[in-house]
Amino acid sequence: MIDLWVWSAGAGGRDDFSRPRSPSGRAGLRRIAAAEPCAGGSGGCVIAAAPYRCERCGDRWSVSHTGAMIAVARAALPVGVDIETRRERPAAFALLQRLTGTRVRDIERWTQCEALLKARGQAHRRPGPGDLPLLPEWVPGWQPSSDRAWWVHTDPGAELIVSVAVASGAGPAPRLRLRGMPVPD
């Protein structure tokens, strides 16, 4: 089971200098985690610094944001999430493809790559050959990684694209549970 929350934290809010508020993904993650049931005890999951793992139940958490949109994922196994607005980034796609040898031609594949790098704990270093074991073509919904060590779920929305990667544990594709809006600030 993977829990996935996607919501807008900005809602047109402006700060004292009339700048659009930039949501803090980490704050959103902690707020949701604290409100969720935790096998380690009452009071929800307790998340320290990245990689986000509950100190009490051991569940894995991941967060991504683009503009005002935030996505948070929770799973028992290593998990990564990425959310992007629909746009072409040909230079970035080409660079990632050159570094890893994995085909990157569109934003859907880009979100798969980002989610997988996060799940593998490699989000903060330059990726290299073999770091993105993905099948040649992405598909909507679940698909396995080429090495079968991961499941990747992609939702190619008209404006927002969300991918989640989770360790397969040699099991079938997990159920993805879309959750409602989290508790407000």
Binding site for Zn ion (CB under 5 A): 38, 40, 45, 54, 56-57
For Zn ion, give the closer residue by CB, 36 or 108: 36
Q: Tell me which residue has tokens 């509950």.
A: 54
Helices (H) and strands (E) in the chain, counts: 3, 8
Q: Which is nearer to Zn ion, 52 or 138 (CB)?
A: 52
Q: Give the up-direction half-sphere exposure of residue 151: CA atoms within 13 A in the CB hemisphere.
A: 18
Closer by beta carbon to Zn ion, 37 or else 141: 37
Q: Which is nearer to Zn ion, 40 or 156 (CB)?
A: 40
Q: 176: how many CB neighbours lie within 10 A of its CB? A: 18
Which two three-digit tokens encode residue 5? 């929350």
Q: How far apart are CB 122 and Zn ion at their closest, in Å?
A: 24
CB of 33 to Zn ion, least distance (A): 7
DSSP string, 102-121: ----SHHHHHHHHHHHHHTT
Contact present, 6 and 85 (Cβ < 8 Å): no
Q: How far is the CB of 44 from Zn ion (least distance, A)?
A: 7
**What's the closest the beta carbon of residue 63 comes to Zn ion, in angstroms?**
15
Beta strands in 9-159 (DSSP E): 60-66, 69-75, 79-85, 141-144, 150-156
**Closest separation between CB of residue 65 and Zn ion, Å?**
22
Token pair for residue 155? Answer: 């939702």
Q: By C-beta, is 33 or 160 nearer to Zn ion? A: 33
